[in-house]
């Protein structure tokens, strides 16, 4: 009896409907999970891109300081440096490094951090405290630093585009698989329900006309 049930039309259709529902739920959950990651990527792109502007702002204020900068100028530049460092080492960029498995992103972020702490921040502080005649040109290292930030931004953009492409692929595969399952279900209904019922209906009509010699050779669960 159990074996007949598993081979029955009702069980086949129920299994197909369950498969369609399960496929839809899994694809939606996966898409939602990746969409959340894509939103974080967009935020990371914005923050990483803002690092370029912050670098230029620091340089601009450094160029504007006088030979003997007053405390207000010093506080402003130190505030800009602290804000840059906060965006670089904490917040969304730090969170992305913790959740992403991209070695390229991690390497680029580490290089930017190393260059900041090893080169840029000491240069900014030295420029701020040095006498006018002893101040070194900081434009060239800043351009090098901004180029590194550009590479980091591009890497985040590629990661975000990859997430979007993954979402499209999941949705396409889910749609294609669903159409195949629906077509298979319609084939089962046609072969095991519609056609036998049509033959039974024809036999019933013949019997109704008084022809009791007709037979319906139908069997199944």
Note the pLDDT tens digit of each residue in 62-73.
877 755 667 788
pLDDT surpasses 70 at 88: yes
Residue 116 pLDDT level (bands cut at 50, 70, 90): very high
CA dist 63 → 58, 59, 200, 203, 211 (Å) = 9, 6, 94, 99, 107
State the average pLDDT for the chain: 80
For the segment 121-145, the average pLDDT, to the nearest whole number, is: 76
How far apart are the C-alpha atoms of 182 and 188, rounded to whole Å? 10
pLDDT surpasses 60 at 132: no
Alpha helices in 65-138 (DSSP H): 71-89, 92-99, 103-115, 121-129
How far apart are the C-alpha atoms of 6 and 12, rounded to whole Å? 7
Q: Please choose, from the candidates 62, 197, 46, the residue with its C-alpha nearest in 3D space to the C-alpha of residue 125.
A: 62
Q: Exposed, middle or buried: residue 184 (CB in 10 Å: 0-12, 13-18, 19+)?
A: middle
Which helix (DSSP H) or strand (DSSP E) does residue 189 occupy?
helix 139-189
CA dihedral 143→148→149→153, nearest 10 degrees, is: 130
Write down the pTM of the prediction: 0.67
**Higher-scoring residue by pLDDT: 208, 100:** 208
pLDDT at 133: 47
pLDDT at 202: 85
For the segment 131-160, the average pLDDT, to the nearest whole number, is: 80
| pLDDT tens by residue, 176-203 | 888 888 888 888 888 877 888 888 888 8
Q: Which two tokens stand for residue 70?
A: 């007053």
Share of the chain above pLDDT 70, in %: 86
pLDDT surpasses 80 at 98: no
Say if residues 189 and 13 touch (Cβ distance below 8 Å).
Answer: yes
């Amino acid at each position: 009896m159990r074996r007949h049930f598993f081979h029955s039309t009702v069980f086949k259709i129920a299994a197909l409907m369950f498969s369609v529902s399960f496929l839809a739920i899994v694809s939606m959950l996966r898409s939602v999970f990746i969409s959340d990651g894509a939103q974080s990527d967009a935020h990371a792109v914005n923050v990483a891109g803002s690092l370029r502007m912050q670098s230029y702002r620091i340089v601009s204020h450094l160029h504007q300081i006088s030979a003997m900068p007053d405390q207000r100028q010093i506080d402003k530049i130190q505030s800009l440096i602290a804000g840059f460092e906060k965006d670089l080492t904490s917040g969304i960029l730090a969170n992305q490094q913790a959740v992403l498995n991209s070695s390229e992103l991690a390497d680029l972020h580490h290089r930017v951090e190393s260059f900041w702490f090893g080169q840029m921040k000491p240069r900014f502080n030295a420029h701020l405290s040095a006498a006018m005649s002893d101040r070194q040109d900081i434009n060239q290292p800043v351009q090098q630093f901004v180029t590194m930030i550009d590479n980091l931004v591009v890497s985040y953009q590629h990661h975000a585009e990859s997430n979007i492409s993954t979402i499209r692929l999941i949705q396409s595969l889910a749609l294609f698989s669903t159409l195949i399952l629906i077509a298979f279900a319609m084939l089962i209904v046609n072969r095991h329900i519609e056609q036998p019922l049509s033959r039974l209906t024809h036999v019933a009509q013949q019997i109704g006309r008084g022809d009791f010699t007709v037979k319906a050779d139908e069997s199944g669960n």
